[in-house]
Amino acid sequence: MKRILTIIFLIVVSLNVFAQWEFNYFVLKVGANHHMFSPQPKGTSTMYVNTPDGEYRLEPDSTFISDYVPGFQVGLNFHFDFSNDMGGIIIGAEFQNKGISAKYLTISKEYNLLQTHRVNSISVPFFVKLGKEIFDQQRYIFGGVRFNVNFGLLTIDKVNWITEPRMSYSKDKFFVNNNINFALGVNFLIFNVEFNFYPDTFLDKLYSQNVGTENDPFWVKTFENQPDKLMFLQTSIYIPISSWTTSKSYFMHKIFRRL
């Protein structure tokens, strides 16, 4: 990951030195992540749950349609617009919170578990944008790759025999340290819509835990059947910190003049 970020930094520096840029400006990004209809874990589950009748193995509910899992994101991106005002490069730093959910049943189907995982990430987007009179119109399509450094995972378990959900937070296990996603989106004035595709899940498929006893251990890979190829939707307010914003808003113009 460090090597990749170094390469991106060198590319950006080179572009800034040798290319012809018309406008360079920051953009503040605030919005939401949306996820639903995620594929369910496949095959036999390696998860176990303690019920009022004892410990049982869980199986994925193949009929379950994923709950809507909202998230949020905030970031500051830097835009390098070409001199012809028909393209540019976007890089930046973003905080991302997003989640997935899955439902499991005991063999008897008497007990069920709805489990949601939310991961926190610091992300670095590297996008190319295309349009016509981009700076003046702020209308363009964009696409590229985002590098995510994951640093925390919130797990929420809801079972049908207890009213209150159980929550736990991990800073160093259950998730992979980094991953990437591919993005494609469109920007219209200050409104931004982005589709994200994750080739691999952010859950650690190699993580193992003992579901047996200390004297008679039984180790299982908790997330080995978690699905890959995840889709997320982002909707954001995209505010250029530039003369474009002040020219469109007298209120913003007054704030910039005072600064």
Question: CB neighbours of 18 closer than 8 A, spacing ≥ 6?
Answer: none
Tell me the mean pLDDT in the region 110-139: 94
**Mind listing the pLDDT tens digit for each residue in 98-110?**
999 999 999 888 9
pLDDT of residue 48: 79
Q: How confident is the model at residue 35 (pLDDT cuts 50, 70, 90)?
A: very high
pLDDT(252) > 90: no
List all residues 6 or more positions away from 10 whose beta carbon is below 8 Å from its beta carbon.
Answer: none
Q: Residue 170's closest CA among 143, 207, 224, 196?
A: 207
Domain-embedded: residue 126: yes
Amino acid identity at 109: K
pLDDT of residue 250: 44
Residue 14 lies in a domain: no
Kindly indicate the confidence band of residue 1, based on its pLDDT and cuts at 50, 70 and 90: low
- Its domain, for residue 87, covers 20-130+146-258
**Has residue 72 been placed in a domain?**
yes
108 located within any domain: yes
pLDDT tens digits, 151-199: 999 999 999 999 899 999 999 889 999 999 999 999 999 999 999 999 9
CA distance 176 to 247: 44
Higher pLDDT, 250 or 86: 86
How many domains would you assign to the chain? 1
